[in-house]
Structures are given as C-alpha cells and as structure tokens.
C-alpha cells in the first residue's frame, strides 16, 4: 500500500474545489455520472480497434447503490477503468483530467471521429467531498487482471493499494456525512438523475443494498420494479433526425421539459455545423405564462453539453424578446467555466445566440407566409413580447418590424395588419405612416384625432399595447417612411394644395375667433399650454394634442402608477372652428362661457379615454346644462 499526501498548495486548491467551486452540493452526482459515462465512451471507442477491451460482451451501464446502514452511496460503471499509474495521475493530481489526456492523445494520432467526452477540467471527481468525508475508488482497467483501490478523507491525503474488483470498470463509494444522508433516498437520487443526467446514453439504475430482513412482499415487488428500470430516459431527441422522430415524441419531451400540460404550438429542431457546432430543439408554446411578464424572473433555454444538463434559464443563449421560446441547446463547443454551471461570455456564445435567434425569426417568417391564421394565433399570444426586439435588437430590428402587426382605424375591430400592408394601401400622395397611442383599442377607434386622416383617406395604426409607445421611438421608419403620431405636434394631411387651403382657412378662423380663443386660454391657463384652431378635426368640437416629443397621457398614467415622478406637461387644446357647438360657446358671456369652456375641456379628455380632472364639477355642470334644455 502506498500512502501519499496532497501538497500544501494542492490541499488548499482541493478545499477551494469542494467549498467554493459549485453552488449546489447536489452537483456531485452529475459529475460522477458524467465521469462514468466518459469511461464507457472511452472503452467503446478503443474497443473498435482492440477487441480484447470489449471481449466480455457486457452491456454498458452505470449503477447507483445505496446502503443506508453503512451510510454509503456507490456510483459504479463498467467502462475503461484505471491502472495504478492512472489512479495516481488522475486522482492524486487536481485538474489532471484523464478524459482531456485521452482526447489529446487521439488528436495527436489523427483521429477523425472523436467520441463526445464530457470531462475537461479534472476537478469534477472532487465534488464528491462536498457530501462525503471519505471516498473510496476501486477500479480495474479493461484488458488487465489487476485491480486497485484509492482512498482518501481529503485532509489526510490518499492511499493506493491492491483491490479485489473482479470485473473491469470503476466504483466510487462515498461515505456520506450525517447531514447529507438525503442522497441515500431513492426519490432524491431519481430526481437528480432526471434533472442532470436524463439523456446520458447509458442506463443509470438504482439498487438498495441493505434490504430489511422483514421486508414486506408489496415493498419487495415495488423495490424490484424500481431497480429494474433505468432512472434516465437516454433519448436525446435533439440529436435525432427530424424524420426519425414522431410529433408525439416531441410533444411529450416538451411537456417533460416545461411542465406545460398542452402540446407546443410549434416545434423547431435544427443544428449548426462549421465554426460552431451545436444541436437545438426549440418550442413555441401555445399560451404565455405569467412569469413572462415578471421583471426578475429568469428565463432562457436549457443547456446540455454532450447530453449532460448544465442549467436551465440560460439567458445568454436567447435575447430577452424571445423569452417565450422554450427548448434545449447541446454543444461540445460551449465554453463553460470550471464548475460547468456558467457560460463564459465569448464569441462562441454570441454565435449560438445569433443562430438561435435567426432560426426563430425564419420560422415565424415561414409561418407568416404559409399560414396566416396560425401566425395570427401566435401573435395574439406573444406579439407584445416580440415587439420588444424592435427596441432592443438593432441587428434584427428590420426583420422584426416585418413580423409585428397592429390594429388600424380602417381595419375591423380585432384584426391586425402588417406594416407592409399599411404601406401598400397608403393614400395617394401620403408620405408618412400615421399612428395613434391609446390604452384601449375601442377608445382609439373613436378618437377625434383620427378625423382629418379619415377625411383624406389615410389609415392610422392604433398603438394600444403598453409596449407600443416605447417602441414608437425605435420604429422611426419603415420602407423609407417616417412614423408620425397624429396626436402630437403639427400634422397635415392631403396634397400640398389641400394643406395650403386648410392653412388659409385656419388663419381666417383664428382671426374671427380671436376673442374666444383668448378667453379659453385665460380660463384654462393652468391646464393647457395653448389653444388653437385644429387641422385634425372634422366632426368633433375639440381635442387635446401633445407637443412633438411629449409623453402620451397613457404613458404618464402608467409611469405614475409605477410610482415614477412625471412632471406635469400641459397640452394644446385644438378647436374645430366649423363645429356648431364651438360657434355657440363662442357667443356666450360671463359664467355661462366659463362653464361651457370647462365642459369642452372635459369632453376632450373623455373623447381620448382620459379621466376628467374634477368629476364632481363636471357632473354638476352637465346636470345644470341638461336642466336648462
């Protein structure tokens, strides 16, 4: 027997690995199963050219054995195994990865088809010490007759001695600490295997060692049934050709992955080769869930590296505006940190993210082209989130703009149109894309600010999603045409000749109503910044409009509801000089004029869907007016 001490600096490094490297103790099982899988992969690969390695003809497997009486958990495989020198190198030296050396050796020999091996850092084995105060390794290398045992309690170094293992492979026995005995429970082990190692290519089974002498017949049958079945499914659908997978299999995998009770709306399997190689299986759900709109909720794709689960909610692989997309990405090229729990931020991650994003966009583009009804179903569920990409993803903004839809003043209620359809149907001579922001589509369709646009045959997009006003700043233009808010600034419709005629008529009306306009300004001085004759109105007596860069009333209300301080910004009251009511009010004097102006202002608020500032006064004035009739 040979006893060795970890060198001082190595002992410190080992302490760091055990206590600081991994965020969850449960990771130890993933690491040991991954090592077992690599050992089998190496045996299979070498057996292609050396038949003596696989002469026993055994079925490849990984077994977990729990002994509650002895407080031990054993992870065993029938893979390549190790000799004494390999034990010394691989387990006596931290960060010395046998898998890594094997890969390098094959590359040096010019191997063209390398097996997908998981280990690369040489530290995963030591995760066992997070839950165990002593670890025993018994191993026998395939093609040899000698077996060896490695044993360590970490602080006391390690020993290597002759072993008594009578078949090839490796068994790692963890002597669990008293506060870690939960890992002897079948259900705990089963959950961890399904979480982290469900798609390992070899069966992972569970066996109970210390069977009670008085075990009941029903308990025996239940235990034997459990032990006969692998804990893992072993089926990584994303690595199989689409033609070889039934939709029912995709549906079941989606439900298993997301815990959604419904089948996915769309299934998108694809892979990439070249500079970066990966496989992905993406799903579009049927309906949004509440967490999509929760600000601090993590979301993203599930990440696997060579079938081993690394983590879910990997946001670095998916832009936030595609957070409704579910699925997995599996790549041998992904740069993980040493604990394998985080991605490193580098060019490979960005390339995968770009490829995933582009694939989702092309899927939606095909759906839009081939199945308009289906695309409408998708957009009704996730259109609000998709629109965010216009604001946050400049690289794909033009593609996203072609996928977003809006209701419009001319379209039927509940129907949305694409921007390209709007442009195609623009009125003769129309240069800009017109839109109106409102909290509700019903209010927007009745808004007085639409009247002049309708008169000149111009359609107006109705921005009624909470996100739309944010996006209006990013939309800017589409197909070379600017976006113009019909409720802000100066808006002119029609031909140049029509615009000149309206301007002349407005100047004339302004002079004729000069005294009345001044009276309105004085009466509403605390509420409006200006009063002027309108170019927007044809049927309504008045409306309120904002300055060019001002926030809309709906945005102000939303920000104040979120406890944000928003300075009061007065708007402009526009009057329809040709409306009979305006002419009648202009002829009033004294208190009647004052009351009528207050009612005009409140009417403008109500028309746009805003609350009146003084409901009690409005109700009284309206009642008095009705009594006088």
Residue 438 C-beta-side C-alpha neighbours within 13 Å: 29
Q: Architecture of 2-228 per CATH?
A: 2-Layer Sandwich (3.30)
Task: Give 3-state DSSP helix, strand, coil % of the chain, rounded to 5.
Answer: 45, 20, 35
Alpha helices in 69-198 (DSSP H): 84-92, 98-108, 186-196
For 592, the 3-state DSSP assignment is helix
- Boundaries of every domain in the chain: 2-228, 237-376, 499-551+560-628
- Top CATH class of 237-376 equals alpha beta
Tens-digit pLDDT profile for residues 24-49: 889 899 889 988 998 998 888 888 88
Q: Which residues contact 492 (CB under 8 A, 6 or more apart)?
A: 499, 502, 503, 535
Which residue numbers in the chain have pLDDT < 70?
2, 4-23, 92-123, 156, 290-291, 293-299, 313-314, 333-346, 551-564, 566, 629
Tokens of 365: 């583009």
Residue 467 main-chain phi, psi, to 5 deg: -80, -15
Residue 516: the pLDDT is 93
Question: Is the pTM of the predicted complex or chain greater than 0.85?
Answer: no
Fold that domain 499-551+560-628 belongs to in CATH? 1.20.120
The reported pLDDT for the residue numbered 102 is 42
**β-bridge partners, 463:** 437
Q: What is the pLDDT of residue 421?
A: 96
pLDDT tens digit sequence for 208-255: 998 888 889 888 898 899 999 999 988 788 888 889 899 999 999 899
């Amino acid at each position: 027997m040979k006893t060795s001490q970890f060198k001082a600096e190595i002992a410190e490094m080992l302490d760091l690995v055990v206590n600081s490297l991994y965020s969850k103790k449960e990771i130890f099982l993933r690491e040991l199963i991954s090592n077992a899988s690599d050992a089998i992969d190496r045996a299979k690969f070498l057996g292609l050219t050396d038949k003596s390695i696989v002469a026993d003809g055994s079925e490849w497997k990984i077994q977990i054995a729990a002994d509650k009486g002895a407080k031990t958990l054993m992870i065993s495989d029938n893979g390549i195994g190790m000799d004494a020198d390999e034990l010394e190198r691989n387990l006596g030296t931290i960060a010395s990865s046998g898998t890594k050396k094997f890969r390098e050796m094959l590359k040096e020999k010019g191997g063209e088809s390398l097996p997908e091996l998981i280990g690369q850092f040489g530290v995963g084995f030591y995760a066992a010490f997070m839950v165990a105060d002593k670890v025993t390794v018994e191993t026998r290398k395939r093609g040899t007759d000698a077996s060896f045992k490695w044993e360590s309690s970490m602080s006391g170094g390690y020993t290597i001695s002759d072993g008594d293992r009578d078949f090839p492979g490796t068994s790692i026995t963890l002597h669990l600490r008293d506060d870690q005995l939960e890992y002897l429970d079948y259900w705990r082990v089963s959950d961890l295997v399904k979480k982290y190692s469900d798609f390992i290519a070899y069966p992972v089974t569970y066996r109970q060692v210390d069977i009670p002498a008085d075990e009941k017949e029903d308990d025996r049958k239940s235990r034997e049934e459990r032990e006969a079945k692998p804990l893992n499914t072993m089926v990584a659908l994303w690595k199989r050709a689409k033609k070889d997978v039934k939709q029912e299999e995709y549906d079941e995998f989606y439900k298993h992955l997301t815990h959604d009770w419904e089948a996915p709306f769309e299934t998108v399997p694809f892979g990439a080769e070249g500079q970066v190689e990966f496989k992905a299986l993406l799903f579009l759900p049927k309906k949004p869930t509440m967490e999509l709109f929760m600000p601090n909720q993590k979301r993203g794709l599930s990440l696997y590296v060579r079938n081993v689960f690394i983590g879910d909610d990997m946001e670095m692989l998916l832009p936030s505006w595609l957070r409704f997309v579910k699925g997995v990405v599996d790549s041998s090229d992904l740069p993980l940190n040493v604990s394998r729990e985080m991605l490193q931020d580098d060019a490979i991650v960005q390339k995968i993210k770009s490829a995933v994003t582009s694939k989702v966009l092309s899927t939606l583009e095909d759906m839009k082209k081939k199945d308009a009804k289906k695309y409408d179903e998708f957009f009704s569920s996730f259109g609000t989130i998709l629109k965010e990409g216009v604001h946050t993803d400049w690289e794909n903004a033009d593609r996203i703009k072609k996928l977003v839809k809006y209701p419009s003043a001319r379209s039927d209620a509940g129907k949305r149109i694409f921007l390209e359809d709007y442009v195609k149907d623009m009125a003769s001579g129309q240069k800009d894309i017109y839109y109106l922001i409102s909290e509700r589509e019903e209010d927007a369709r009745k808004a007085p600010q639409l009247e002049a646009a309708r008169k000149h045959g111009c359609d107006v997009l109705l921005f009624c999603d909470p996100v739309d006003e944010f996006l209006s700043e990013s939309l800017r233009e589409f197909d070379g045409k600017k976006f113009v808010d019909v409720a802000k600034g100066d808006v002119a419709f029609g031909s140049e000749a029509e615009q000149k005629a309206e301007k002349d008529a407005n100047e004339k009306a302004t002079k004729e109503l000069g005294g009345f306009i001044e009276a309105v300004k004085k009466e509403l001085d605390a509420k409006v910044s200006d009063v002027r004759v309108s170019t927007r109105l044809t049927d309504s007596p008045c409306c309120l409009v904002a300055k060019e860069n001002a926030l809309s009333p709906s945005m102000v209300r939303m920000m104040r509801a979120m406890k944000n301080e928003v300075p009061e910004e007065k708007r402009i009251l526009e009057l329809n000089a040709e409306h009979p009511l305006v002419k009648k009010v202009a002829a009033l004097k004294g208190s009647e004029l004052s009351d009528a102006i207050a009612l005009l202002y409140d009417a403008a608020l109500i028309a746009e869907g805003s609350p009146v500032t003084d409901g009690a006064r409005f109700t009284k004035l309206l009642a008095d007016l009705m009594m006088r009739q």
